[in-house]
């Protein structure tokens, strides 16, 4: 699929913007802070309903404005569609697809799919486990939109259950009937947590199995050497707080088994949970372990190795998504500046065949020559097609 | 801002569910421009409900007497109780015209975030209704969302020792939805396909 038009109102630094795009490579260049990332952030938001830079919507609305509107025209094999999202920080956002209002904004997911490479991706390797969980869940939702619902449900059950644990914890010396009452209500929420959590867990496990060969291949390609070389073997393993990692490959993906394992884990840890007032087991506490040459990537890998691994994750996402359906839109925000010449060339060669590639760069010379295509100058709040 | 009484009306309308500040203003000015007799009828209806409508002491449904029309109707099957969250859900299930049992309105669903636990719902009243052994089947028709599911799970466990047949309307209900918004056909099918809750 590819975007043919992007229109923004009061999004980030743009009061009003409308640009026409086409398939193939398009490069946006201009000095630092002129609004290149703002552009691609908007596109990625239309695809994921989130920003890769901030957790809340407020910074996305232009200073002084009340709301932002994002519109994109997308051409896919199924035909073209018009996506519209209105950001109302503090209130409900609204989404329309082909002018029809959607009951929930998340119903728009799937109409546009993107894979975004950005400097922030380094956090995938160097950051907290939460970064890797978010990566998995975002990709899961991109491969099957129903997981956006599963994830939202899981987060809501978690909030409900945490709230219950907190209020029960406040009366920590609960005994007799009062304790039984809390226990009975907890049982009901445990059942929900296990039911929804097992679906999320199964999805993640399946995703990792599918992703593993792609990550290995992409890592090898970006590094420019066979991964089999000693000291460079890449391993990824899902470590669950719920199920025993049955093998190297982590827990299996059967929902009933995972649900039972979750219920068992919850029963085993209930007293600590009541003491501490937080949910201690479940997919929200799991980790995707990454190691290179037997050493944990986090804390051991070099800057360049970390970058290569982060890129490998994005490339693998792209390969996985294009395997089952048409190409997602590829977005490369400022990635070439960080790479040496060899890696730049190899990355460019890997992505050049995609249906649409959107590239941003402060220094146009950093972008390898094979990625030539349409050029836009981003400067002074304007985005103009370069002559 | 408008003059005292008008602003007052706008504020009151704005507190209604589904009415925003703009909508409140529109309704207020519509009423000001409307035929006096029409507005009077609306005002009378409002006063009448507040004075006459109460909640059924047995099931918690809206009623015009101590008990509601359904609890008073001797043709309704006393062995089956359908548990719902709100009086509006009673109306929704009644629309399918197939359910011949009685109701129990909980007054909401378990939601710790909102400070709603079992004690805040009409669960004790339900348990009282189950003591004499007349009721043999309980249909848990709470909303098909997380809070509704949790409430159904809670109730299913609670009544388990009583050996009742406990069911929950199954497939067809849009997940994440409100019972009230399901159309009759969907709701009817869901009631036919109700499943036993195994706990
Ligand atoms: N909500 C907002 N309202 C107004 N301006 C904003 C808002 N959010 C960000 N900006 C402005 O947008 C600019 C940053 O834009 P952006 O991140 O797209 O830069 P860039 O062109 O990608 O730069 P670099 O080359 O450094 O990555 C900053 O000058 C910032 O002040
Ligand atoms: Mg930038
Ligand atoms: Zn009644």
Cβ proximity of B59 and B103 under 8 Å: yes
pLDDT tens digits, residue range A16-53? 999 999 999 999 999 999 999 999 999 999 999 999 99
Domain that holds residue A62: 1-113+327-387
Nearest ligand (C-alpha, residue B64): 3
Task: Write out chain B residues lying below 8 Å of A161, CB-based.
Answer: 112
Whether A247 shows a pLDDT value over 70: the answer reads no
pLDDT tens digits, residue range A84-127? 999 999 889 999 999 999 988 988 988 999 999 999 999 999 99
Whole-angstrom distance, CA of residue A14 vs CA of residue A63: 10
Q: Looking at domain B73-196, does it have CATH number 3.30.70.270?
A: no
| Nearest alpha carbon, ligand 1 atom 16 | A35
Give yes or no for residue A36 CB within 6 A of ligand 1: yes
Give yes or no for residue A99 CB within 6 A of ligand 1: no
| Nearest alpha carbon, ligand 1 atom 24 | A32
pLDDT bin (cut points 50, 70, 90) of residue A170 is low
The pLDDT score that the predictor gives to residue B173 is 53
Rounded mean pLDDT of A204-221? 92
Nearest ligand (C-alpha, residue B76): 3
User: Is A124 within the bounds of a domain?
Assistant: no
Cβ proximity of A347 and A335 under 8 Å: yes
Give yes or no for residue A37 CB within 6 A of ligand 1: yes
How many CB pairs below 8 Å do chains A and B form together?
52
What is the CATH code of the structural domain delimited by B4-52?
A: 1.10.8.420
User: Is A296 within the bounds of a domain?
Assistant: no
Give yes or no for residue A29 CB within 6 A of ligand 1: no
User: Is A11 within the bounds of a domain?
Assistant: yes
Q: Which of residues 157-186 of A touch B (CB under 8 A)?
A: 157, 159-161, 163-164, 167, 181, 184-185
User: Is A20 within the bounds of a domain?
Assistant: yes
SS3 content of chain B, % helix, strand, coil (to 5): 50, 15, 40
Asked if domains B4-52 and B73-196 share a fold, the reply is no
pLDDT tens digits, residue range A74-92? 999 989 999 999 999 988 9
Residues paired with residue B55 on neighbouring β-strands, in sequence order: B62
Kindly indicate whether the ipTM for this predicted assembly is greater than 0.85, answering yes or no. no
pLDDT tens digits, residue range A352-380? 999 999 999 999 999 999 998 999 999 98
User: Is A33 within the bounds of a domain?
Assistant: yes
What are the residue ranges spanned by the domains of chain B?
4-52, 73-196
Closest CA to B139 of B113, B112, B159: B159
Whole-angstrom distance, CA of residue A321 vs CA of residue A328: 7
The pLDDT score that the predictor gives to residue B174 is 53
The pLDDT score that the predictor gives to residue A172 is 56
Between the two ends of chain A, the Cα-to-Cα distance in Å is: 26
User: Is A5 within the bounds of a domain?
Assistant: yes
pLDDT bin (cut points 50, 70, 90) of residue A173 is low
Of B117, B146, B149, the CB nearest to A185: B117
Q: Does B153 touch chain A (CB under 8 A)?
A: yes
CATH number, domain with residue A355: 3.40.50.300
Whole-angstrom distance, CA of residue A174 vs CA of residue A181: 10
The pLDDT score that the predictor gives to residue A249 is 46
To test the pocket of ligand 1, the residue of A10, A33, A360 to mutate (highest count of ligand atoms within 8 Å of its CB) is A33
pTM for the complete prediction? 0.82
User: Is A299 within the bounds of a domain?
Assistant: no
pLDDT tens digits, residue range B115-132? 999 999 999 999 999 999
Domain count, chain A: 1
Q: Does B111 touch chain A (CB under 8 A)?
A: yes
Q: Does B110 touch chain A (CB under 8 A)?
A: yes
């Amino acid at each position: 699929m590819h975007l043919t038009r992007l229109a923004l109102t009061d999004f980030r630094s743009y009061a009003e913007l409308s640009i026409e795009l086409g398939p193939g490579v398009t490069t946006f260049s201009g000095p630092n802070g002129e609004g290149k990332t703002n552009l691609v952030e908007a596109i990625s938001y239309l695809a994921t309903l989130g920003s890769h830079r901030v957790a809340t919507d407020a910074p996305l609305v232009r200073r002084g404005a009340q709301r932002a509107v994002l519109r994109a025209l997308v051409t896919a094999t199924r035909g073209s569609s018009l996506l519209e999202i209105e950001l109302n920080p503090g209130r409900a956002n609204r989404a329309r697809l082909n002018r029809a209002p959607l009951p929930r904004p998340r119903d728009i997911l799937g109409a546009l799919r993107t894979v975004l490479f950005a400097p922030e991706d380094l956090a995938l390797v160097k950051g907290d486990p939460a970064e890797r969980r978010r990566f998995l869940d975002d990709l899961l939702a991109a491969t099957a939109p129903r997981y956006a619902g599963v994830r939202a449900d899981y987060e809501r059950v978690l909030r409900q259950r945490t709230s219950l644990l907190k209020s029960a914890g406040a009366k920590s010396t609960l005994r007799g009937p009062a304790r039984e009452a809390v226990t009975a209500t907890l049982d009901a929420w445990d059942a929900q947590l296990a039911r929804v959590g097992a679906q999320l867990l199964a999805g993640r496990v399946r995703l990792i199995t599918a992703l593993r060969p792609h990550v290995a291949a992409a890592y090898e390609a970006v590094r420019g050497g066979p991964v089999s070389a000693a000291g460079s073997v890449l391993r990824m393993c899902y470590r669950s707080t719920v199920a025993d990692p049955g093998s190297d490959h982590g827990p299996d993906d059967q929902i009933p088994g995972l649900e039972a394992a979750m219920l068992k884990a919850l029963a085993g840890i209930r007293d600590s949970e009541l003491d501490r007032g937080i949910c201690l087991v479940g997919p929200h506490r799991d980790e995707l372990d990454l190691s290179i040459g037997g050493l944990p990537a986090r804390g051991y890998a070099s800057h360049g190795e970390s970058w290569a691994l982060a890129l490998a994750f994005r490339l693998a996402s792209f390969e996985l998504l294009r395997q089952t359906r048409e190409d997602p839109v590829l977005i490369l925000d400022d990635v070439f500046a960080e790479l040496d010449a060899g890696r730049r060339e190899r990355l460019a060669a890997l992505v050049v065949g995609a249906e649409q590639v959107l590239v941003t760069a402060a220094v146009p010379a950093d972008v390898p020559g094979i990625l030539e295509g349409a050029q836009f100058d981003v400067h002074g709040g304007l985005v103009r097609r370069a002559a | 801002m408008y003059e005292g009484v008008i602003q007052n009306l706008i504020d009151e309308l704005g507190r209604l569910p589904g009415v925003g500040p703009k909508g409140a203003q529109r309704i207020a000015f519509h009423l000001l421009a409307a035929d006096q007799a029409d507005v009077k009828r609306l005002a009378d209806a409002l006063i009448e409900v507040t004075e006459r409508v109460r909640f059924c002491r047995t099931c918690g449904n809206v009623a015009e007497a101590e008990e509601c029309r359904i609890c008073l109707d001797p043709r309704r099957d006393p062995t089956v109780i359908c548990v719902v969250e709100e009086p509006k859900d009673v109306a929704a299930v009644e629309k399918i015209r197939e359910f011949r049992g009685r109701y129990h309105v909980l007054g909401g669903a378990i939601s710790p975030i909102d400070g709603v636990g079992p004690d805040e719902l009409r669960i004790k009243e339900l348990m009282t209704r189950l003591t004499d052994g007349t009721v043999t089947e309980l249909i848990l028709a709470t909303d098909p969302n997380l809070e509704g599911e949790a409430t159904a799970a809670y109730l299913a466990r609670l009544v388990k020792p009583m050996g009742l047949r406990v069911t929950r309307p199954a497939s067809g209900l849009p997940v994440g939805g409100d019972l009230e918004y399901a159309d009759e056909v969907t709701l009817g099918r869901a009631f036919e396909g109700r499943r036993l809750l195994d706990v």
